[in-house]
Amino acid sequence: MRLNTRTLAVALTCAVVATTSAFAGSVTGKVTYDDKVPSLKPLRMDADPACASKHSGPIQQDVLVLGEGNGLANVFLQIKNPPAGDFPAPSSDVIINQEGCMYVPHVAGVRVGQKLMFHNSDGVLHNVHGLPEVNREFNIGMPPTLKEKETSFSKPEAVFPVKCDVHPWMKSYVAVMDHPFFAVSDANGGFTIQNVPDGTYEVIAWHEKLGTQSGSVTVSGGAAKLDFSFMIPKK
Ligand SMILES: [Cu+2]
């Protein structure tokens, strides 16, 4: 095909627009909990006085963390039908700290091959016992003097639990992703999945006690809104 100057200019303009808009979008919204709020007993850390001594008041359980406007924290959200492409894992590490005998953050996503670092800022004996089913189970002893230890995963895997066998209340959740289109809801239930190319997507939202939901959203160059509302699952 022969291109004259004008059609070439139009073609170039379109190419530039396509390039700049292709990754300009995002999926953003809020996850709420819209059911009766159960009264959860504060955690008792009496089993290890060293843990109890790190807290001055009642210690809230981290199984149902609510923020402003019933915002639901610690929901793992991911695009189920991600766009095709090569998405190399970032060189930065994902960090989960053992802090006051709790895991912080409580839920995290890590890419295949990316380093997952466990920090121990407690000066207390912990172990980090991961229970994946696709990847290899791991059990990392973390004596008080060991400040950090790393692991990584070779295959993508849905959210799996990580626990401490010394302190039965300690639990966190990790997902291993082969693409970057995921997020964890923040303290007020907000989330943003960044750099999403234009398209229509199914988004899956997972909560450890409240189950899984999905929603559909169309991204067209900007921030596409998608909210989720969780309730106690009916038996
Ligand atoms: Cu522990």
Q: Does one domain contain both 76 and 183? A: yes
Q: Does one domain contain both 68 and 33? A: yes
Q: What token pair was written down for 155?
A: 């295959």
Which pLDDT tens digits describe the chain residue by residue (235 residues)?
A: 444 545 444 444 444 444 444 557 999 999 999 999 999 999 999 889 899 999 998 999 999 999 999 999 999 999 999 999 999 999 999 999 999 999 999 999 999 999 999 999 999 999 999 999 999 999 999 999 999 999 999 999 999 999 999 999 999 999 999 999 999 999 999 999 999 999 999 999 999 999 999 999 999 999 999 999 999 998 7
Place of tokens 């990580």: 162
208 is a domain residue? yes
195 is a domain residue? yes
Q: Does one domain contain both 111 and 63? A: no
Distance from the alpha carbon of residue 120 to the mean position of ligand 1, in angstroms: 9
Residues, beta carbon < 5 Å, ion ligand 1: 126, 164, 166-167, 170
| CATH code for the domain in which residue 78 is found | 2.60.40.1120
Distance from the alpha carbon of residue 73 to the mean position of ligand 1, in angstroms: 22
106 is a domain residue? yes
Distance from the alpha carbon of residue 159 to the mean position of ligand 1, in angstroms: 20
Cis status of the peptide bond prior to 105, with omega within 30 of 0: yes
Q: Does one domain contain both 4 and 59? A: yes
Q: Does one domain contain both 185 and 140? A: no
Q: Does one domain contain both 11 and 116? A: no
Q: Does one domain contain both 5 and 82? A: yes
CA quadruple 234, 226, 72, 117: dihedral, nearest 10 = 110
Please tell me the pTM assigned to this model: 0.89
CA 223 to chain centre: 19
Q: Does one domain contain both 8 and 61? A: yes
Domain-terminating residue out of 125, 156, 187: 156
What does the pLDDT read at residue 235?
77
Pick from 109, 90, 81: nearest CA to 176:
109
Give dist(CA 23, CA 2) in Å, integer. Answer: 30
Distance from the alpha carbon of residue 75 to the mean position of ligand 1, in angstroms: 23
Q: What token pair was written down for 3?
A: 């291109």
108 is a domain residue? yes
144 is a domain residue? yes
What total of structural domains would you count in the chain? Answer: 2
Domain-terminating residue out of 124, 156, 188: 156
Distance from the alpha carbon of residue 43 to the mean position of ligand 1, in angstroms: 14
61 is a domain residue? yes
| Host domain of residue 66 | 1-87+179-235
Distance from the alpha carbon of residue 79 to the mean position of ligand 1, in angstroms: 32
| CATH code for the domain in which residue 104 is found | 2.60.40.420
Distance from the alpha carbon of residue 55 to the mean position of ligand 1, in angstroms: 15
Distance from the alpha carbon of residue 146 to the mean position of ligand 1, in angstroms: 13
Q: Does one domain contain both 76 and 113? A: no
70 backbone dihedrals φ, ψ, rounded to 5°: 60, 25
Distance from the alpha carbon of residue 48 to the mean position of ligand 1, in angstroms: 9
